[in-house]
């Protein structure tokens, strides 16, 4: 099987054509992210885990900031022995990435020495450094929150003159913009400070379990490590709490079907003390826990719950109904922790030697120490901070729209971050000189063209990988973060070879067999199409999707491993799940009946 796979390989980058009519939009991405002929020699894969939809030109800033930070952590800070950073390319709006490995034994040796001084220091001082990290992150968030809303007065306020400030408001446009961008790049540096080390410790335990128990399932190892107490689970917990409050205060009937969040809020306000009490509880939850967005924080249009209450409010009726049916609404963390403890002890008992048991104890202890960071950092980085970032850019969008640069504030995301800075300087210049900005003559056409390009790209199928298949995937970063293994690539290749096969294989993520109607959800905006009992088929899920798990019967995703969000939540809800299928959203048609066998990792299309 391996041999045929090698012979087939994936298409080389140069064989991909930019879709006709979208060339100028493609050219708007930075030159260092365009494929060149040299890239044909390397293996690339489509990062649909983080970027499942075509990227608006501005949104590529996330890929840029993230890979700069990931690379510096691996290459220069912790000096991972065998792996450097990840190169990133974009074509037709799709982000492809490829890892840089170290193969020279002398260099690995040199880096190993450095790694042991650096990474080991982090492991040894993990709790202190994580506590310090959290302080840094909160400070960074407050810094971003403190940035003023960009605006241009007719005349400078007289107080500025009396104070002798001597700097006009237009300067602060550039200042705030650059600080916004700088903060975002800094946030990503924080994001990767611990991440690889954390995943590495987890994978160490994982690897041990796979050797000691060759037939253990990925999800069992994941259950031994997962904590479920991380901050990323809090938003969902808050919804359960609010559901209970609504019942206790007697305002649960406000959440009838067909009412918008605004209507509900208005009606609550008018319903006297009870409604006001609930609204007070809502405010408690919102700051900061509704700073979670409906995506993974990688697209500007994945709005935070705080900015769009429809997602959390859509989930409330389900939680209220569950509570009335006598379900304990709190996640049964204690019970889950007891189960975890028992699972660990039971597997320990099966180990053959005292030495194994001692090594097992050490590895699980390390995994438990590091994992809360791995689970928890997302709330602060990808959600809270990222929401602030995109909202600040949105404020610039509103200002530019006010000056006619484009019709709508949201259009700002069609400009690259370089172009946006140019537009800001354009506006600064016009404002200071009393002349007319040039942007309004340039950007509306560009924005239209780019929106059309994104729509065109969204229709196209995307090869999951490009270039020659490596003999072995030996890059711990690629394996850990994307679950890309040689075995997976072979599965993807063979899936392409049998387009008529009704079986799709993936990672067995959560046990159980269920048949039902597939709801292929390509973006977070389509979530409300899910009905009770549907099977969610998506590219990737993220924590803000958690509330939909109360109504679905099973989950299937293109990307993800046994520790991915969908896997963790599916196990918690006891739903079958198959993740990392590579092609489910392309092969399964919306409305088809499918069978999900979460124990075997197989999805069958029932004709």
Partner 1 sequence: MQSSEIIGWFADIGLVDRPTVGGKGGSLGELTRAKIPVPAGFVVKTAAFERFIAALEKEDPIRPKVEALGSQEMERITAVSRELRERLENALLPEEVNSQILASFVELCGPGNNLPLAVRSSATTEDAADASFAGLQDTYLWVIGLEETLKYVRSCWASLYSVPSIAYRRKHGLPESGVAMAVVVQGMVNACKAGVMFTRSPQTGDRSVVTIEAAWGLGSSVVSGEVTPDRFVVAKITGEISVREINDKHIRHLPAPNGGVGEFETPEEMRREPCLSDAEILALRDVARKIERHYGRPQDIEWAIDHSGRILLLQSRPETVWSAKQSAPVAKPAEHPMQHVMRIFGGRR
Q: Which stretch binds partner 1 (CB under 8 A): 58-66, 143-151, 212-220, 293-301?
A: 212-220
**301 vs 167, 293, 412, CA distance in Å?**
34, 9, 12
Structure tokens at 113: 């020495």
- Report phi then psi at 511, rounded to 5: -65, 155
Q: Does 208 bind partner 1 (CB under 8 A)?
A: yes
Q: Does 562 bind partner 1 (CB under 8 A)?
A: no
Q: Does 127 bind partner 1 (CB under 8 A)?
A: no
Q: Which stretch binds partner 1 (CB under 8 A): 129-137, 302-310, 343-351, 383-391?
A: 343-351
Residue 211: count other Cβ atoms within 10 Å of its Cβ: 10
Q: Does 366 bind partner 1 (CB under 8 A)?
A: yes
Q: Does 329 bind partner 1 (CB under 8 A)?
A: no
Residue in 173, 197, 401, 568 binding partner 1, rule: CB under 8 A: 197
How far apart CA 376 and CA 380 sit, in angstroms, is 8
Q: Does 350 bind partner 1 (CB under 8 A)?
A: yes
Q: Does 338 bind partner 1 (CB under 8 A)?
A: no
How far apart CA 304 and CA 395 sit, in angstroms, is 15
Asked if residues 64 and 416 have their Cβ atoms less than 8 Å apart, the reply is: no
How far apart CA 516 and CA 507 sit, in angstroms, is 19
User: At closest approach, how far in Å is the CB of 574 from partner 1?
Assistant: 13
Residue in 343, 422, 425, 605 binding partner 1, rule: CB under 8 A: 343
Residue in 18, 129, 168, 212 binding partner 1, rule: CB under 8 A: 212
Residue in 27, 266, 358, 452 binding partner 1, rule: CB under 8 A: 358
User: At closest approach, how far in Å is the CB of 341 from partner 1?
Assistant: 13
Which of 110/522 has CB closer to partner 1? Answer: 110
Beta-carbon contacts of 58 under 8 Å, excluding residues fewer than 6 positions away, are 300, 393, 412, 413, 414, 415, 416, 417, 420
How far apart CA 225 and CA 347 sit, in angstroms, is 13
How far apart CA 598 and CA 514 sit, in angstroms, is 8
Q: Which stretch binds partner 1 (CB under 8 A): 92-100, 258-266, 286-294, 348-356?
A: 348-356
Structure tokens at 492: 């993807």
Q: Does 204 bind partner 1 (CB under 8 A)?
A: yes
User: At closest approach, how far in Å is the CB of 474 from partner 1?
Assistant: 6
Residue in 356, 410, 421, 449 binding partner 1, rule: CB under 8 A: 356
How far apart CA 86 and CA 246 sit, in angstroms, is 48
How far apart CA 537 and CA 369 sit, in angstroms, is 33
Looking at residues 62 to 101 of the shown chain, list those that interact with partner 1 (rule: CB under 8 A).
80-82
- Report phi then psi at 63, rounded to 5: -60, -45
| Angle (nearest 5°) at CA 182 between 181 and 183 | 90
Q: Which stretch binds partner 1 (CB under 8 A): 64-72, 200-208, 235-243, 431-439?
A: 200-208
Q: Does 207 bind partner 1 (CB under 8 A)?
A: yes
Q: Does 269 bind partner 1 (CB under 8 A)?
A: no
Which of 30/227 has CB closer to partner 1? Answer: 227
Q: Does 511 bind partner 1 (CB under 8 A)?
A: yes
Binding pattern for the stretch 434-473 against partner 1, x by CB under 8 A and - elsewhere: --------------------------------------x-
How far apart CA 598 and CA 567 sit, in angstroms, is 10
Which of 24/211 has CB closer to partner 1? Answer: 211
Binding pattern for the stretch 131-170 against partner 1, x by CB under 8 A and - elsewhere: ----------------------------------------
How far apart CA 546 and CA 292 sit, in angstroms, is 11
User: At closest approach, how far in Å is the CB of 118 from partner 1?
Assistant: 11
Residue in 508, 567, 584, 588 binding partner 1, rule: CB under 8 A: 508
Q: Does 58 bind partner 1 (CB under 8 A)?
A: no
How far apart CA 85 and CA 558 sit, in angstroms, is 24
Asked if residues 593 and 249 have their Cβ atoms less than 8 Å apart, the reply is: no
Please write down the HEC assignment for all residues of 212-256.
HCCCCCHHHHHHHHCCCCCHHHHHHHHHHHHHHHHHHHCCHHHHC
Residue 149: count other Cβ atoms within 10 Å of its Cβ: 10
How far apart CA 584 and CA 579 sit, in angstroms, is 9
Q: Which stretch binds partner 1 (CB under 8 A): 25-33, 169-177, 217-225, 298-306?
A: 217-225
Burial of 515 per CB tally in 10 Å (0-12, 13-18, 19+): middle
How far apart CA 76 and CA 83 sit, in angstroms, is 11
Residue in 33, 140, 144, 201 binding partner 1, rule: CB under 8 A: 201
User: 3-class SS at 569?
Assistant: helix
Q: Does 515 bind partner 1 (CB under 8 A)?
A: no
| Count of residues of this chain found to bind partner 1 when the rule CB under 8 A is applied | 52
Q: Does 421 bind partner 1 (CB under 8 A)?
A: no
Q: What angle, rounded to 10 degrees, do the helices at 354-378 and 218-225 form?
A: 70
How far apart CA 412 and CA 244 sit, in angstroms, is 40
Q: Site residues (CB under 8 A) for partner 1?
A: 80-82, 102, 108, 112, 115-116, 119-120, 123-124, 197, 200-201, 203-204, 207-208, 211-217, 219-220, 223, 343, 346-347, 350, 352-353, 355-356, 358-363, 365-366, 472, 474, 476, 508, 511, 599-600
């Amino acid at each position: 099987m391996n041999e045929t796979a090698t012979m087939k390989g994936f298409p080389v980058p140069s064989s991909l054509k930019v879709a006709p009519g979208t060339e100028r939009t493609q050219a708007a991405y930075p030159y260092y992210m365009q494929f060149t002929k040299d890239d044909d020699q390397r293996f690339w894969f489509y990062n649909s885990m983080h970027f499942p939809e075509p990227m608006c030109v501005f949104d590529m800033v996330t890929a840029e900031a993230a890979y700069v930070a990931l690379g510096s952590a691996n290459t220069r800070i912790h000096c991972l022995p065998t792996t450097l950073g990840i190169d990133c390319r974009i074509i037709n709006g799709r982000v492809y990435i490829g890892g840089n490995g170290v193969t020279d034994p002398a260099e690995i040796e040199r880096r190993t020495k450095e790694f042991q001084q650096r990474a080991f220091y982090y492991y040894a001082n993990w709790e202190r450094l994580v506590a310090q990290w959290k302080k840094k992150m909160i400070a960074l968030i407050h810094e971003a929150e403190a940035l003023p809303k960009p605006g241009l007065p007719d005349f400078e306020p007289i107080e500025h003159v009396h104070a002798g400030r001597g700097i006009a408001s237009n300067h602060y446009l550039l200042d705030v913009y650059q600080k916004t961008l700088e903060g975002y790049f800094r946030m990503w540096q924080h994001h990767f400070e611990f991440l690889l080390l954390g995943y590495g410790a987890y994978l160490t335990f994982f690897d041990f379990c796979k050797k000691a128990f060759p037939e253990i399932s990925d999800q069992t190892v994941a259950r031994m490590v997962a904590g479920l107490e991380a901050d990323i689970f809090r938003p969902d917990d808050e919804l359960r709490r609010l559901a209970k409050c609504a019942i206790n205060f007697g305002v649960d009937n406000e959440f009838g079907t067909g009412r918008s969040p605004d209507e509900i809020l208005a009606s609550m306000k008018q319903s006297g003390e009870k409604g006001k009490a609930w609204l007070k509880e809502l405010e408690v939850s919102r700051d900061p826990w509704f700073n979670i967005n409906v995506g993974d924080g990688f697209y500007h249009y994945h709005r935070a719950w705080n900015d769009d209450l429809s997602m959390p409010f859509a989930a409330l009726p389900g939680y209220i109904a569950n509570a009335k049916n006598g379900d304990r609404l709190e996640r049964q963390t204690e019970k889950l922790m007891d189960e975890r403890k028992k699972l660990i002890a039971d597997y320990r008992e099966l180990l053959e030697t005292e030495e194994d048991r001692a090594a097992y104890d050490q590895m699980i202890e390390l995994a438990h120490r590091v994992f809360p960071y791995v689970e928890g950092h997302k709330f602060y980085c990808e959600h809270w901070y990222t929401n602030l970032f995109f909202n600040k850019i949105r404020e610039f969008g509103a200002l530019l729209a006010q000056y006619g640069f484009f019709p709508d504030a949201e259009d700002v995301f069609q400009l690259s971050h370089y172009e946006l800075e140019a537009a800001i300087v354009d506006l600064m210049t016009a404002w200071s000189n009393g002349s007319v900005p040039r942007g309004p003559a340039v950007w509306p056409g560009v924005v239209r063209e780019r929106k059309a390009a994104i729509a065109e790209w969204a229709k196209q199928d995307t090869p999951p990988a490009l270039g020659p298949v490596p003999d072995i995937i030996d890059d711990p970063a690629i394996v850990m973060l994307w679950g890309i293994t040689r075995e997976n690539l072979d599965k993807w290749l063979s899936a392409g070879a049998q387009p008529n096969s009704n079986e799709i294989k993936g990672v067995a993520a959560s046990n159980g067999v269920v048949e039902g109607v597939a709801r292929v959800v390509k973006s977070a905006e389509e979530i409300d199409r899910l009905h009770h009992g549907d099977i969610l088929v998506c590219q990737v899920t993220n924590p803000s999707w958690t509330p939909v798990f109360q109504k679905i019967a099973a989950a299937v995703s293109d990307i993800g491993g046994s520790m991915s969000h969908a896997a963790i939540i599916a196990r918690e809800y006891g739903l079958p799940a198959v993740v990392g299928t590579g092609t489910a959203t392309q092969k399964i048609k919306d409305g088809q009946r499918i069978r999900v066998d979460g124990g075997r990792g197989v999805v069958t299309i029932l004709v």
